[in-house]
Structure formats: C-alpha cells, structure tokens
A and B are shown apart, each in its own frame.
Chain A
C-alpha cells in the first residue's frame, strides 16, 4: 500500500519519477495533461498507421482519459472526471512504446498495458470516477488542440494544479486494483 499523504509532483514524469512511485501512492500533479478518449485514440492510431504526424507529440505526454462537460461561463472547463481506461487498452501499448509517459483514467487494464508500463518505466494513475466537479477545480486552463469536431472527445490541453490522482499501476508490477482489495481483506484478519 502506498502512502496516504499526497506527494506533490510537477512537470515531466521522467523514468526516474515513475520508478519512484508505487501503487497506492497519492499524488497531487501540476503540469500539462492532454485529454483523449475513444474517438481521439482511434484517430491518433490511424494517423500513425498512415505514417502521418500526430497533432500532439506523443513522446513525453500525459494522457487523461476524459471528456469534459461544457464549461459554464467563467469556468475554464466543465466537470471532468476519468472515463473507464480499459477501452483504451487496444491503443495504449503502442503509445507508451512511442514515449507516452503516463495515463490517467480509472479501472483495471489489460496485461498488455501492464507490460508496456513496465518495459517503458511509465505509470498509470487513477482519478476517482465520478468526482468530476472536484477534479475540475484543479484545471486552470483548457484549450482544444485537435479534433474539434469530436466535441467532448476532442483533444484538450489542460493546465492542472494539484490534480488529485492515485498511482494505480506502477512499473514495478504493483497494481492497486489487486493489492488494495487484498490488503483490506487481509486487515480484517
């Protein structure tokens, strides 16, 4: 089990940073994350298949699996919680091998994704599903940078400050969706 006290991390999630994180660690992240979900992933991979440039540089990015609600006047973004990550499993290993450093989503991942996290010393964070209004408070700015026609599924560049996330799958094989429930059950004796 990771530490309950949150660790502040900002900027790039380097291999060194990723390797220092363990499943269950609470993190408050500040920096740039890009939203992309089903439709945007499909297009990114189609661009790669066609040998075209992707509209965002995959190398070094943090991708947040999310599609926000519309922003009310005066807000940078509407509520923006994570969507279920498993739907991006068919795409994630390829993007991780191209240098994507972190994923933020919710829920369990395929063995292929877990393996890709390990070999790339990357990281998979979970945000709390359904806590969309709370998470939106950490978003300071949001700009559509690609696939505007996809509406909520467009790729947005978010500047976040102290975004509350939890290490779900680390590059050492730790997986909160296995160890969290197991440790709770063991604690009852």
Chain B
C-alpha cells in the first residue's frame, strides 16, 4: 500500500491545466510544421504559419493557445494499491482545476446546468474518468477539450451487417458534416465496439494518442490510413479555407461488443489538440 496526499494531486492537476493549455505538445507541433512544409496551396501554407506563430506566442508569454481552454477532461489510472490521504480523489482533482484555471488566466467555460446555464466561474467540475489498474502508481492525463470540435462529435449504433464499410461511411460523413467548424487541421478519434456509452469513451480516448502513433493492430492501422487519405481528399484545408491538410491523424480504438451490435463514435479534436500527463 502506498499513500498519496490529496494536496499532491491538486498541485499536479493545477500544473497540468496550465501547461496543457499554454504549451503545444511536440508531436502536434512537428505535425503542423510538416504540414506547412508539405502544403502547396498558398492560403493553406499561410494559415498553418499563423497557427504555428500563435503557438509560439502562447508558449513565450505563457498564455493559452486558444481562448477556449475547454472542459477539463481528466483520465486517471489509479493503482489498486494506492491510498489517498487527507481528501478524496474527485475533490482533489476539482481543486486542481479551479486553481489551474484561475492562476493560469484560463477561460472558465463550464455552466452548472445545461439548461439554466450559470457559469461556475472556476471551470469545475472536471469531467473525470477513473480506471483502477494494477500496482501503486497514479497516472493523471489532463485533456482540455474545446467545444468547437466537441460539438461536431457523432455516435451511431450500426448493424453488424454494415461492417467496415458502414464504419467508414459514418466517419467520413461525420467529418464532412463538421467541415470548417472544428478548426482544421483536425485529429479524428474513432471508437468501434463496446456499447452505447463505452464507444463514446473509446473515441475520446483515441484523441489522447500522440500524433503519428498508429493502432497496434495492422487491420485498424490500415483503416486509420485509409480514413486519413479519404478525409484529406475533401480539400477542406486549414481553417476550412481550402488545402491538402484537413486531418493530421485518425486514431481508431476498438473493443469487444455484443453479437447484435456495431457501435461507432467520432470525437473530433482541433489543431490545438491538448493533452498532458503526469505520474505520481
């Protein structure tokens, strides 16, 4: 049994909020630089240049890359041999989010109720997912998620007979429908399998994968490549102004499902695809 202080969790989450929002991760930066290099369409090249300049300003001045600093999505891998002392896990995370979003001059975008819509003024509650795993570690991944891309997500319960072709059509239709709204170049997270709620979580988790890392199963890695090529044929381009670079990565995550089910979900991330992790 290992003991972790709740206050250490709060401090860690606070740091993750600020870093994730102000410093673009290296994998994403490399992908945007490569895209600018490869773009032949002048408007697209210039737009990617603005995005890179923006990221450089944000890091230099430690201000958020995008004003939509998102809902604080927190993924926790909690070792089953960990005991949290002097507070609860959920309270410690929410305290870290409130602290990080205040100290880091990040935008508070959460309303307490979806219909009555009063801002909570500290960006809590965080949207927390906890997995209990072996061992005595505590891994926290913070993924601030903006609404421009989040609102373009879709989920459908396909029939098993629809097969891979049905999945392909659904994903391409969802991304086509999203058009310029999710701030391309985008990252596309795809969940296949599980059930209604599980598949949405798969699609979200798919966005946590570093840009350029494929699904370890060659069957799904090939599907990722095919979808990426097909989406870039849309010509949507950076900011939707036209160009070769509409999507930087398509990440598919699959899970076992029922004999009667073929759930599929698409969760899109913008070109400021943020996620930072820490191990306690």
Q: Which residues of B contact A134 (CB under 8 A)?
A: 50, 53-54, 57
Q: Which of these, B54, B243, B270, contacts A133 with CB under 8 Å?
A: B54
Contact check, A130 vs B270: say whether CB atoms are below 8 A apart.
yes
CB proximity to B under 8 Å, residues A70-126: 70-72, 75, 78-81, 83-84, 86, 106-108, 126
Binds A, one of B103-111, B212-220, B259-267: B103-111
Q: Which of these, B64, B237, B240, contacts A78 with CB under 8 Å?
A: B64
Q: Is A131 an interface residue (CB 8 A)?
A: yes
Give B11 Cβ to nearest chain A Cβ, in Å: 21
- Map CB proximity to A onto B238-272 as digits: 1 under 8 Å, 0 otherwise: 11111110000000000000000000000000111
- Map CB proximity to B onto A25-53 as digits: 1 under 8 Å, 0 otherwise: 00000000000000100000000000000
- Map CB proximity to A onto B18-57 as digits: 1 under 8 Å, 0 otherwise: 0000000000000000000000011110110011011101
Q: Is B12 an interface residue (CB 8 A)?
A: no
A84 to B184, CA, bound (A): 12
A79 to B54, CA, bound (A): 10
B contacts with A, residue count (CB < 8 A): 50
Q: Is B121 an interface residue (CB 8 A)?
A: yes
Q: Which of these, B57, B151, B244, contacts A84 with CB under 8 Å?
A: B151
Q: Which residues of A contact B107 (CB under 8 A)?
A: 67-70, 78, 152
A151 to B110, CA, bound (A): 11
- Map CB proximity to B onto A124-165 as digits: 1 under 8 Å, 0 otherwise: 001011111111110000000000001111000000000010
Contact check, B148 vs A129: say whether CB atoms are below 8 A apart.
yes
Contact check, A151 vs B108: say whether CB atoms are below 8 A apart.
yes
CB within 8 Å for A132 and B67 given contacts A72-B105, A177-B240, A180-B242: yes
- Map CB proximity to B onto A58-71 as digits: 1 under 8 Å, 0 otherwise: 00000000111111
A81 to B241, CA, bound (A): 16
CB within 8 Å for A79 and B64 given contacts A84-B151, A130-B183: yes
Give B166 Cβ to nearest chain A Cβ, in Å: 26
Contact check, A187 vs B241: say whether CB atoms are below 8 A apart.
no
Q: Which of these, B50, B148, B237, contacts A164 with CB under 8 Å?
A: B50
Q: Which residues of A contact B75 (CB under 8 A)?
A: none
Residue with the greatest number of chain A CB neighbours at <10 A, chosen from B65, B106, B270: B65
Residue with the greatest number of chain A CB neighbours at <10 A, chosen from B57, B117, B236, B271: B57
CB within 8 Å for A151 and B119 given contacts A24-B43, A84-B148: yes
A contacts with B, residue count (CB < 8 A): 49
A86 to B244, CA, bound (A): 24
Among residues of B, the one whose C-beta sits closest to the C-beta of A42 is B117
Q: Which residues of B contact A184 (CB under 8 A)?
A: 41, 44, 235, 237, 242-244
Contact check, A70 vs B65: say whether CB atoms are below 8 A apart.
no
CB within 8 Å for A133 and B50 given contacts A79-B58, A126-B239, A181-B236: no
Among residues of A, the one whose C-beta sits closest to the C-beta of B109 is A152
A135 to B181, CA, bound (A): 18
Contact check, A83 vs B148: say whether CB atoms are below 8 A apart.
yes
Q: Which residues of B contact A24 (CB under 8 A)?
A: 43, 241
Contact check, B66 vs A4: say whether CB atoms are below 8 A apart.
no
Q: Which residues of B contact A150 (CB under 8 A)?
A: 119
Q: Which residues of A contact B148 (CB under 8 A)?
A: 83-84, 106-107, 129
Contact check, A181 vs B242: say whether CB atoms are below 8 A apart.
yes
Q: Which residues of A contact B53 (CB under 8 A)?
A: 131, 134
What are 9 A-B residue pairs whose CB atoms fall within 8 Å in the complex? A24-B241, A68-B67, A69-B107, A70-B107, A79-B65, A83-B147, A132-B66, A152-B107, A183-B242
Q: A106-B181, A134-B50 are in contact. List 17 more A-B contacts (CB 8 A).
A: A1-B43, A67-B67, A69-B63, A69-B106, A106-B183, A107-B180, A128-B51, A128-B54, A129-B66, A130-B66, A152-B119, A153-B119, A166-B241, A177-B240, A182-B242, A184-B41, A184-B243
The 8 A-B residue pairs with the shortest CB-CB distance in the complex, in nearest-first order: A180-B242, A184-B242, A129-B183, A181-B235, A134-B54, A107-B181, A132-B67, A185-B235
